[in-house]
Structure formats: C-alpha cells, structure tokens
Structure 1
Amino acid sequence: MQIEIRGNHFLLLTQRAIFWQETQTLLIGDLHLGKITHFRKEGIAIPNNAAGNNFERLDEIVKNTGATRIIFLGDLFHNKYNSEWETFRAWRAQHHYIEMIIVIGNHDILPVSLFLESDMQVYQTDYEEEDFIFTHHPKVELDGSKFVFAGHVHPVFTTYGRGRQSLRLPCFVVDNHQAILPSFGVFTGGFQMDLAEERKIYITTETRVFSVC
C-alpha cells in the first residue's frame, strides 16, 4: 500500500514498517527486543521461534526494499540488558552498510554507549529531516509545519463480521499531520484505535495492507 505525504511516497509494509522511497529509508517502531527473553526468565511460556521472528522479518524487509537506512522510532530494546542484545549486535554487524538512527523511547533504558558502539546515531527526543519529524511518543499538539511519524501506542483496529465474529489486527493510523506505526515486535500487545474525522486507518495482515473505509 503506497501513500503520499508532503510530495513523498511511503510504502506501508505487511511486516508493520514503512518504507520512505525517496530516501530508501525504513521506519520501524517498537521492536521491544529482549521482551521475549525477559518473559521466559519470569516463567512465561513463549514459542521457541518467537525471538527469531523479529530478525527474520527485519532481514526480509531489508532484502525486499534495498533500504540503505533505518530509523527506529523508539523502544528498540524492551528493558534491561539480556542476551537478545547480543543477537541484535550481531545482526547489526551483518548489516554494517546500512545507516541506522534511533530515537530513544521510554523502554530504551540501556546505556547510550551500547547503541553508539553498534554504530547507531542516537537522538534523545526528535529527529527532524526535510518536512518530517521522527519521534517515539505521538504529538498531542501539532502546528502542521512538519509531518510527524511516531510509535509507542501499538495501534490495533477491530473488524467485525456477521454475528459476533471479530478480528483485532495491527494498523497504521494516518491523520492530517501525523502517522502512528504499529508495533514491529511480536508479543507487544496493542491499543484499540477508532475511526475519526480526517483519519485513515490501514490494517495489516501477513499478506496484505488495506484501508478501512
């Protein structure tokens, strides 16, 4: 699904990321790496392949898009240091040719030095480029001078079928001056979003992204 914002073209991907075509940049929010390992330490049963799923999907979108840059919109790592950080470090080393930027999220409590050692540019609040702001928390007050891309919320939308059937799926939420990305990471939960005036919601499944009318 392609959308146009401020004369630029953005692909909404089934892997729950956005590809900014003009700059060959992937926008990714809320991986929450380390969360699965944390759950297991707390005795919560998680499928063995769950952690690998994040990296498989990362590899897939990098290969399919040919991205030369990734902007992480916060909450790259869920909490304190654990073994999943080493997996990410190895993954980053394999993709050393890709520029990587992170805007720090509320869960990114690892020392900034770890991000820097992994050759990532770090921004504590917003990263601005051209007509766009890339941030973690969605903006409450928007002046319209720049368009905002944010994460944090983990938006989902519920569709209803005949009878009492319902399906809750991740979604992209695009308002006049702001877009909120779904959580890229698995086992991250979600916040229900509703239709609103001048808002577009794009549901994503494993095979398709489609607009909610």
Structure 2
Amino acid sequence: MTYQTLTVEVGGFALQLCAQRAAFDPHLRSLFIADPHFGKDAVFRAHGVPVPAGGTRDDLARLDSLIATHRPVSIVFLGDLLHGRESLGSETVNALSEWRARHASVRVVTIEGNHDRSAGTLPPSLDIETVPEPWRHGPWALCHYPQVVDGAYVLAGHEHPVYVIASRADSARVPCFRFAAEYGVLPAFGAFTGGFVVNQHVDDAAIYAIAQKRLVVVRKRR
C-alpha cells in the first residue's frame, strides 16, 4: 500500500497532507515536518532503557520517500529535530550526515524547539539552519509552539496530536493533523513519540487522521 496524499485548503492556501506525517506546500515546494525527535532511542538507552536501535534510520527512510515523491527545494522542521543531548552521539549524527549527503541540494531549516535547546548545537557539517520562531515563509508563520501570529497562518508542532478511533470492541490512537482558524498543528514525525489526544477539543478545528498509510477526514472546519 502506498502512502496517500490529500490536498486541503489551510488559511486560504493549498497544502498537501502526507500520510508519512508531513505537509507539503506545492507552490513553495517546501516540506514541513514537526517533531522528529531524532535520536530518542539513543537517549533512552543512555538512561538504561533497552529500546532497540535503528529508529532514526527508519524515520529518515520515511523522509527519503517524501523527498522522492515531492522533490522539495526546502525542508522545514517545526522544532524538536533532536530529542536530547545523547542524540548528538555518533549513532544519530552519522545517520543524519548520511541522509544530508543524499539530499545536499535541499535547503534544510529547523525551528528551535524545547528539546533542541536541551540537546545542544547541531554540527555545522550537517548544513542545517537553526532559526527562532516565528519564521516567515510564504504565507506561513512556522513555529514550534502553536500560537497566533498577526498576518500569517501558523504551522506548528510540539503537541503531537493523536485521534482515538474507537468501536464498541476496540480503539486505536493514530497521529493526526489539526487545523484551527489561525494555526495548525502537524503530527509528530518521529515514530517513537507519545501523543496528545484531541478528541475532546470543543472548537471547530479540522482533523485529518492517519491510519494504515491513509488519511481519514474526521472533521472539516465549518
């Protein structure tokens, strides 16, 4: 099964939602990714939790598939590129260096998130620009924290939104996109992350859930 893409209108502009947990602006040819938390598995192992290695490489392979499909000229991470200080160890940095070499012509920018500040400075060899929020790019104000920015629609991360799909017999938590009137929150890109359940939000935000490589329209904005 191939990953689905769904084009929606967000803040008056077209945005392609990708079931790989990312969004793509076809006009700017920019790929937006929130909260990859690269190296989170390394952080856990450094603290004595025996989680398997390879999570960062798996996430980067998913990112490779997004790049192959959309051919972006720029990629913007909406914060928390890294998870913690141990993410700057050789395992994660080598994986990121190999990925960066494969896509050296693509501009890569990351908004500074709370985990990035605790992780430390990225090696210059990665050629990744770190910028504060809000970072204006086309019609968007790109942020880590969801917020309102005058004169622009905000795309943010931080919250790791998930939606609970339930039947009488069972339920599942799946990542989702959530678009309110003035800002939208992308799902966490990293597979090894938790999530904040959005089912009980009482506003009229649009919700698009991701289930088995497909996008499910839970609710459109009224």
Give TM-score, length-normalised by structure 2.
Answer: 0.87
The answer on 1:85 being equivalent to 2:90 is no
1:122 to 119, 130, 135: 130
Query: Secondary structure at the residue paired with 1:46?
Result: coil
Identical-pair percentage: 31
Root-mean-square deviation (CA, aligned residues, Å) is 1.7
Query: Secondary structure at the residue paired with 1:108?
Result: helix
What's the counterpart of residue 73 of structure 1? 78
> Counterpart amino acid of 1:153?
E
Quick check: 1:144–1:177 contact (8 Å CA) kept in 2?
Answer: no
Measured in 2, the distance between the counterparts of 1:197 and 1:72 equals 26
Q: Is the alpha carbon distance of 1:193 and 1:65 closer, same or farther for their aligned partners in structure 2, counting shifts above 3 Å?
A: same
The runs of 5 or more residues in structure 1 that have no matched partner are none
Measured in 2, the distance between the counterparts of 1:133 and 1:2 equals 19
Shift of 1:66: 1.2
Between 149-158 and 105-114, report the one with greater CA deviation. Answer: 105-114
> Counterpart amino acid of 2:205?
R
Measured in 1, the distance between the counterparts of 2:134 and 2:36 equals 18
Q: Is the alpha carbon distance of 1:170 and 1:69 closer, same or farther for their aligned partners in structure 2, counting shifts above 3 Å?
A: same
Between 151-160 and 120-129, report the one with greater CA deviation. Answer: 120-129
Summarize deviations over 1:53-97 as a string: whole Å, max 9, x none.
111101110101111110010100111121202211221122101
Q: How many residues align?
A: 209
Quick check: 1:172–1:180 contact (8 Å CA) kept in 2?
Answer: yes
Quick check: 1:74–1:135 contact (8 Å CA) kept in 2?
Answer: yes
What's the counterpart of residue 159 of structure 1? 165
Q: How does 1:21-170 map to 2 (within 5 A)?
A: 21-80=26-85, 81-83=88-90, 84-109=92-117, 110-112=119-121, 114=123, 116-139=124-147, 142=148, 145-163=151-169, 165-170=170-175
Quick check: 1:112–1:122 contact (8 Å CA) kept in 2?
Answer: no
Shift of 1:166: 1.1
> Counterpart amino acid of 2:126?
S
The answer on 1:187 being equivalent to 2:192 is yes
Between 83-92 and 16-25, report the one with greater CA deviation. Answer: 83-92
What's the counterpart of residue 16 of structure 1? 21
Summarize deviations over 1:120-174 as a string: whole Å, max 9, x none.
22212221123210010111xx3652100000111111111124x1111110001
Summarize deviations over 1:160-191 as a string: whole Å, max 9, x none.
1124x111111000111111011001211111
Measured in 1, the distance between the counterparts of 2:149 and 2:132 equals 21
Q: Is the alpha carbon distance of 1:72 and 1:153 closer, same or farther for their aligned partners in structure 2, counting shifts above 3 Å?
A: same
Give TM-score, length-normalised by structure 1.
Answer: 0.91
Measured in 2, the distance between the counterparts of 1:151 and 1:95 equals 24
> Counterpart amino acid of 1:70?
I
Q: Is the alpha carbon distance of 1:133 and 1:82 closer, same or farther for their aligned partners in structure 2, counting shifts above 3 Å?
A: same
